[in-house]
């Protein structure tokens, strides 16, 4: 299998703090790759580097042969990279359906004039987007919430809607920032099946940050452990969990 995402020697500093320190890793096409680590290890920062919200101080980020550093944050989605956020970032004053349709924005092919007049092309495109969104709705069982405003939905549903919005864009790489945080045991179980199906049925590569080791070892092929922005260990979930350096980072020296 080939590498879909390659991060080489990425370094990011905020003033005197080194958030990501000379980090190198790659994600293969079709795998579920998890990043774990204690709070402040730089996991979300890695995501924000890939999303181009931050400029790395040094290093390179490549996606399927494209240099991501050549692109602005809004041009990353065009390559087929979709993401969710740690603290759900949905469009609160819009319905679930509208939120999912925003996910289709990168497939927009009509211009301002056509949209102002709502020509038959816009109408046709709208139906096409709707079909794609309906597939996601069926996949995630969101049927009861289609026309509900986000502002009135419970946390667990919002989490699923955010996953749906990322899926609606038809990505090749899905970045999930703590998909199970704040979810109940049942909801976490659902999330686990969904991530499995996203990889197996849809063929989407998943890169996720997660604290729930049950979920991580259940779905991921490889795990990267981070501490203080640097790589501690990389390997299968079992290898990483038994790595002395990882245990030390979580529990302190002498615990092993």
Partner 1 sequence: MRIHFKTSYEHDIRLFPDRWSFLVYALLIVVAVLLPWLIDDFFLGEVTNVLIWAIAGLGLMMLTGQTGQASLGHAAFLALGCYSCIIFMEQGLPFLIAFPAAGILTGIIGTIIAIPAIRLHGIYLAIATMALSILADDIIVLMEPITNGVSGKFAPVINIFGIEIERWGTPDRFYWLVLVVAIICTLIYRNILRSPLGRAFAAVRDSEVSATAMGIHISRTKAISFGISCAITGLAGALMGFFSGIVTNETFSIVISITLLMMIVIGGLGSIHGAFFGAVVVAFLPQFLSLAKETVIGGGVAIPGLETGVFGMILILFILFEPMGIYGRWMKIRIWFELFPFARKDMFKRQKSYLKTERLR
Alpha carbon distance 211, 179 (integer Å): 9
- Shortest CB 131 distance to partner 1, Å: 7
- Shortest CB 147 distance to partner 1, Å: 8
Percent of the chain as helix, strand, coil, to the nearest 5: 45, 25, 30
Alpha carbon distance 106, 152 (integer Å): 27
| The residue to which tokens 């996203």 are assigned | 198
Segment lying near partner 1 (by CB under 8 A), choices 7-15, 16-24, 151-159, 235-243: 151-159
Considering the complex, state which of residue 108 and residue 200 has its C-beta at the smaller distance from partner 1.
108
- Shortest CB 248 distance to partner 1, Å: 30
Q: Output the CA torsion sign for 226, 231, 232, 236.
A: positive
Q: What are phi and psi of 12, to 5 degrees?
A: -140, 130
Exactly one of 3, 11, 94, 247 binds partner 1 (CB under 8 A); which one?
94
- Shortest CB 108 distance to partner 1, Å: 4
| The residue to which tokens 């990501």 are assigned | 20
Q: Does 15 participate in binding partner 1 (rule CB under 8 A)?
A: no
Interacting positions 52-91 with partner 1 (CB under 8 A): 53-54, 72-78, 82-83, 85-91
Exactly one of 9, 24, 118, 143 binds partner 1 (CB under 8 A); which one?
118
Q: Does 181 participate in binding partner 1 (rule CB under 8 A)?
A: no
Q: Please name the residues in contact with 125: beta carbons below 8 A apart, sequence gap of 6 or more.
A: 108, 109, 110
- Shortest CB 136 distance to partner 1, Å: 14
| The residue to which tokens 């199906």 are assigned | 197
Exactly one of 23, 41, 97, 157 binds partner 1 (CB under 8 A); which one?
97
CA distances from 232 to 17, 98, 106, 241, 247 (A): 18, 41, 36, 11, 10
Q: Does 117 participate in binding partner 1 (rule CB under 8 A)?
A: yes
Contact 207, 174 (CB under 8 A): yes
| Chain residues that interact with partner 1, rule: CB under 8 A | 48, 51, 53-54, 72-78, 82-83, 85-94, 97-98, 101-106, 108, 110, 112, 115-118, 122-123, 125-127, 129-131, 134, 151-152, 155, 158, 165, 169
């Amino acid at each position: 299998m080939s590498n879909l995402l390659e991060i080489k020697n990425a370094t990011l500093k905020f003033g005197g703090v080194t958030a990501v320190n000379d980090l190198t890793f790659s994600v293969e096409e079709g795998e579920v790759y998890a990043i774990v680590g204690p709070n402040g290890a730089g996991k979300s920062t890695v995501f924000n580097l890939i999303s181009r919200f931050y400029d790395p101080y040094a290093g390179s980020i490549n996606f399927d042969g494209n240099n991501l550093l050549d692109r602005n944050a809004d041009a990353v989605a065009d390559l087929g990279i979709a993401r969710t956020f740690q603290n759900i970032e949905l469009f609160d004053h819009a319905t679930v359906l509208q939120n999912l349709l925003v996910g289709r924005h990168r497939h927009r092919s009509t211009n301002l004039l056509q949209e102002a007049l709502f020509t038959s092309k816009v109408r046709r495109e709208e139906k096409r987007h709707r079909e794609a969104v309906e597939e996601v709705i069926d996949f995630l069982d969101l049927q009861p919430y289609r026309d509900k405003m986000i502002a009135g939905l419970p946390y667990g549903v919002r989490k699923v809607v955010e996953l749906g919005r990322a899926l609606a864009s038809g990505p090749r790489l899905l970045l999930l920032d703590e998909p199970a945080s704040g979810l109940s045991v049942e909801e976490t179980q659902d999330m686990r099946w969904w991530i499995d199906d996203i990889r197996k049925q849809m063929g989407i590569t998943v890169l996720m940050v997660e604290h729930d080791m049950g979920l991580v070892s259940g779905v991921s092929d490889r795990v990267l452990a981070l501490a203080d922005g640097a790589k501690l260990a990389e390997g299968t979930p079992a290898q990483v969990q038994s790595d002395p350096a990882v245990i030390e980072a979580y529990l302190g020296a002498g615990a092993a």
